[in-house]
Structure 1
Amino acid sequence: MQVVYSEYRGSKKLKHVGSAHTDEDLALLRAKAQEIIEGEQQSLDLGIDVTPAGAGSKQSPLAVTGERAGYLIDAITGAYRALGFDAATDHDSVFADLVMARLVQPGSKLDSVETLAEIGVASASYATIKRRLLSYAEPGFRDRLTAASAAHAGIGPGVMVLFDVTTLYFETDEADDFRKPGFSKERRLEPQITVGLLADASGFPLAVGAFEGNLAETRTMLPMLERFAGTYNVDDITVVADAGMFSDGNKKAIVDAGLHYILGVRTPDVPYPLQAWRKANPEAEYTDGQIWSTADRSGRGPDGVPHSITYYQYSWDRARRTLKGISEQVDKAEKAVAGKIAIKRNRFVDLKAPKKQVNWALVEKNRALAGVKGYQTSRVDLTAEQVISAYRQLLKIEKTFRMSKSDLKARPIYHHTRQSIEAHLTVVMAAMAVGHLLEQRSGLSIKRLVRTLKRYRTFELTIAGQTVHAASPVPTEIADLIDRLNAPDLPH
């Protein structure tokens, strides 16, 4: 018989008590082991017969009448309330449970009931969830969540919001008025929907919108911005987005709506300010972080201020990566022209020439542009550094989208009608917001946080007619994590 003091990664600390050959010897060793375990502590007398069972008999195990992953439940519930979602949904417990289930283990409506039961939450029935789900697609319900998110993020006049879109496909060949084939981010051919996401500068989600699968990305932005501005009564918004989100008409519509934009621009040719600089400095090299600017040539306002400004910045690291890629493509192009490898897709192979050849003019143009990135904005009051810094925040909304697709499994597998799909996305958006706050508080990914806290549980046992509460021991580092989750949030 041995007493185990601790166990960590397969390594045990233990004390050998002795060996028994008879029931009497075994009883003595058990008593000695109990004394070692209790040490100087007194035993709690619960009126239980702890006399060793005789030969051939079996002792019944203690019955666990209740089990709960309390630390995990409290962390999610605390973040949900801190965001104001409890009040925004009029204390809708069914919606709160669906958000919790989405964070713990994404799945179907029926799966959510089992997921919550597994961590000790008695949720509504499957029938109740089905009945209540469609109400979460109502514009008013979603607008209240958007308002709560905006309030938490401290949205006010002059706010910058990030915008991006993704596509979610359906495993079906039958399209309808909502699920339609279109340009897929995942290069799928199945019917899909287009999902737009507005986030603040930290990547915290503010609003989500669902659109037909074949709708151009440029046509998703303005409706979401206008609805967001109307919901939260903010008319001074600067949207930060990638170049693919903007057409000339889109930019004009945003400016006409009284909004502003910051976007990345494609540079197919060497921009004029770089050409002028190179002409004036033929022997000089670009310096890391060097910036050039050019005002909008289409006109200026009545006060002489240009409608927009485009900044170009050179990055040594970006140039290094780009030049490496160009060299690899040129090497493949030369082999393809020589007939050593098959021609697949290579932009430097000129197939229109009388004889296939490497397009060296295009190679040199791309090398001249290596490391140069363009940024255009209607916020002419901002410095170049402020504009570029704002654009770089788009990485955070991309991270938010990745979390929604991977950890939260946003793709609506079990939904087929537009109303149920939009209800599902409402749950996902709320889960993204709660997950974002939990990640900020803990410093862990939501997936790792759930996996960590799920292990530490409280139990209820019935012993001799009495209810006894027990809990998994909490290591110091987990106690520190729990303290961080319960600490008040700093201003956003």
Structure 2
Amino acid sequence: MAAYIRKVRTASGATAVQIAAKQGRRDKVLEHLGTAHTDSELAALLATAREKLLAGQQELDLDLGAGTGGASMITGKRSRWLIEVIDTAWRRLGFGVVDNEAFFQLVAARIVEPTSVADAGRVLREIGIASAHRNTFVRTLRRCTAHSYRDDIAQRCFEHAAAAGDLNLLLYDVTVRREALAVRAEVRDLCLEPGRSQESMKLGAA
């Protein structure tokens, strides 16, 4: 009964890697090695499966030095292209004027998943960025006002838009509900005041 490597597509779209053997007309699974969700995970599982299949077979002594031995292991994941796109856009827009890595991490986390400062570390770890400590993020937000981060970013945005020959404004709200209400209160737009609907404003205007 010769064993072989078997790849099976799961319902979620992942790929299960197994060592199996033919038993009559059916495949008998001898060992389930794991499920791969990315090409790198699949390559690692296939390499482990090949090592298991070749275990115990004679090897030629080619005097290539001591091998590392052991099965392949996935020690980490990194969303390389996503991180590079965010970093490239950051530098191209001139936002590097804000020399603060923690601030960049907060912006990257909000782009990937609009969430709270407390949850930013989780988002960053999921895409493979070594997150700064939560206390560092809190201190960074305080520096935003003290060191005029908003003015520096706004100036770079204006310069970039002006150089392109066309000025456009895009407002992207990533605030939580309480923060959004505070911003609306500062704007003093009557249509956005609590208790006032658009219909009531129309009646008042009439």
Alignment TM-score, normalising by the size of structure 1 = 0.25
- Where 1:99 maps in the other structure, the secondary structure is helix
Please say if 1:78 is aligned against 2:78. no
Q: Which residue type is aligned with residue 125 of structure 1? A: H
Distance (Å, rounded) in 2 between the aligned partners of 1:51 and 1:159: 64
The answer on 1:192 being equivalent to 2:181 is: yes
Equivalent position of 1:137 in the other structure: 145
Preserved contact between residue 161 and residue 168 of structure 2 (Cα < 8 Å): no
> In structure 2, how many angstroms separate the alpha carbons of the residues matched to 1:63 and 1:140?
46
Cα distance change of structure 1 residues 117 and 170 upon mapping to structure 2, 3 Å threshold: closer
1:152 aligns with 2:160: yes
Deviations 1:184-216 (A, max 9, x none): xxxxxxx93245xxxxxxxxxxxxxxxxx1653
Establish whether residue 89 from structure 1 lines up as the match of residue 78 from structure 2. Answer: no
Query: CA separation in 2, counterparts of 1:67 and 1:163?
Result: 33
Runs of 5+ consecutive residues of structure 2 not aligned to the other structure: 31-46, 57-69, 192-199
One of 55, 69, 75 as aligned partner of 1:65: 75
Q: Distance in 2 between matches of 1:127 and 1:194?
A: 24
Q: Kindly indicate whether the alpha-carbon contact (under 8 Å) linking 1:104 and 1:115 is maintained by their aligned counterparts in 2.
A: yes
> Larger % of strand: which?
1
What aligned pairs does 1:40-59 form with structure 2 within 5 A after superposition?
A: 50-51=53-54
Alignment-mate amino acid for residue 137 of structure 2: I
1:98 to 89, 102, 106: 106
Say whether the 8 Å CA contact 1:20–1:26 is kept in structure 2: no
**Residues 130 and 49 of structure 1, relative CA distance in 2, 3 Å threshold:** same
Q: Compute the displacement of 1:94 (Å).
A: 0.5
Distance 1:141 1:63, change over 3 A: same
1:2 Cα deviation after fit: 7.2
**For the structure 1 residues 108 and 214, does the alpha-carbon distance in structure 2 shift closer, same or farther, using more than 3 Å as the test?**
closer
Distance 1:139 1:155, change over 3 A: farther
C-alpha deviation, 1:162, in angstroms: 5.3
Q: Residues 26 and 115 from structure 1, CA distance in 2 versus in 1: closer, same or farther, beyond 3 angstroms? A: closer
What's the CA shift for 1:111? 0.8
Contact 2:144 2:150 in 1 (8 A): yes
Q: Quick one: which amino acid aligns to residue 71 of structure 1?
A: W
Higher RCO structure (Cα 8 Å, ≥6 apart)? 1
RMSD of aligned alpha carbons: 4.7
Does the 8 Å contact 1:193/1:214 carry over to 2?
yes
- Deviation string 1:49-68 (CA, Å, 9 cap, x unpaired) is 64469xxxxxx974322211
State the match for 1:19 in structure 2. Answer: 22
| Selected match of 1:108 from 103, 113, 116 | 116
Q: Counterparts in 2 of 1:279-298, with a 5 A limit?
A: none
Which of the numbers 108, 115, 128 marks the counterpart of 1:120? Answer: 128
Partner of 2:76, secondary structure, is strand
SS in 2 for 1:68: coil
Is the contact between residue 105 and residue 124 of structure 2 (CA under 8 Å) also seen in structure 1? yes
How far does residue 118 in structure 1 lie from its aligned partner after superposition? 1.2
Off by >6 Å, runs of 4+ in structure 1: 5-10
Q: Deviations over 1:427-456 (max 9, x none)?
A: xxxxxxxxxxxxxxxxxxxxxxxxxxxxxx
> 1:271-302 CA distances to partner (integer Å, 9 max, x unpaired)?
xxxxxxxxxxxxxxxxxxxxxxxxxxxxxxxx
Q: Does 1:216 align with 2:161?
A: no
The alpha-carbon deviation at position 75 of structure 1 amounts to: 1.3
Higher helix share: 2
Q: CA 1:65–1:50 in 2, change beyond 3 Å: closer, same or farther? A: same
The structure that has the greater radius of gyration is 1
SS at match of 1:124: coil
- 1:278 aligned partner: none
> Percent identity among equivalent residues?
26
Q: Which runs of 5+ in 1 are unaligned?
A: 28-43, 54-59, 172-178, 180-190, 196-212, 219-243, 245-344, 348-492
Which residue is 2:67 aligned to? none
Distance in structure 1 (CA, Å) of the matches to 2:189 and 2:170: 11
How many residue pairs end up in the alignment?
150
- Tell me the TM-score normalized by structure 2: 0.54
Q: Distance in 1 between matches of 2:169 and 2:146?
A: 24
For residue 137 of structure 1, report the CA deviation from its aligned partner: 2.3
